[in-house]
Structure 1
Amino acid sequence: MQLPRFEVTDVHSHRCPVRPARPRLRRRGSPQGPRPTVCEERGRHLDYSMGAFRVIGLLELAGAVGLVSGLWLWPLGVTAAVALLLLLVGAVLSHLRAKHAAKTLAPAVLFAVVTLAVLLLRLATS
């Protein structure tokens, strides 16, 4: 009886034959295909693509940099705080729409409250 041959992609994306004893599993998957990451599963659950998650991450990073820069340039800090607050309100609404538990919703709510506090303090001291 002849055993099937399995091929595994190595680090340099070259195909190399492997002994037919048993298929070697990839780091995040199985012989049937890669398993989705936690981020991909959450994105599917919220109806967001991975590209949208990357854009949201970049906007969050830009908002954080803008808040810190706002220590020296207050208009930039106020603009960043408003934009970040809108982003976080959108996150809270997305989690509520998906009916997530409070544990999943808490970080977005917490950061929205902190961003609102920063915005109000900045406006009060300008």
Structure 2
Amino acid sequence: MSDEAVRVDKWLWAARFFKTRRLATEAVQGGKVEVNDARAKPARTIRPGDELRVRKDAYEFHVIVHAVSDKRGPAKVAETLYEETPESIARREQTREQIRAQNAAFPQPKHRPDKHDRKHLARFKRGG
């Protein structure tokens, strides 16, 4: 960790928001990352004290950068690079609950239909 500036795509990868640097770069280019309430480019540098908004899938993270790093380390070290705001945590939890409720309303089959199940479905569709 260092206290200089580092590219936003490298920092997102080092802070473990994205599995690869390529995914981090694509997210920044796709407009899913804002630095200090402005859309960022992958080469944009960030420093401690900057605020980032990262949209990933259905979730949005609002974090404050505490330290910068361009090396990906253990998850425990990555957690020290930023602090997520309490509002962001509450919003993500609310989104998680909404997704769980939606999934409960539309249950998925336990397994793919096998030969026996397909014959039953075919008979049902034929009406006999």
TM-score, normalised by the number of residues in structure 1: 0.26
Structure whose residues are more often strand by fraction:
2
Higher RCO by CA contacts (8 Å cutoff, separation 6 or greater): 2
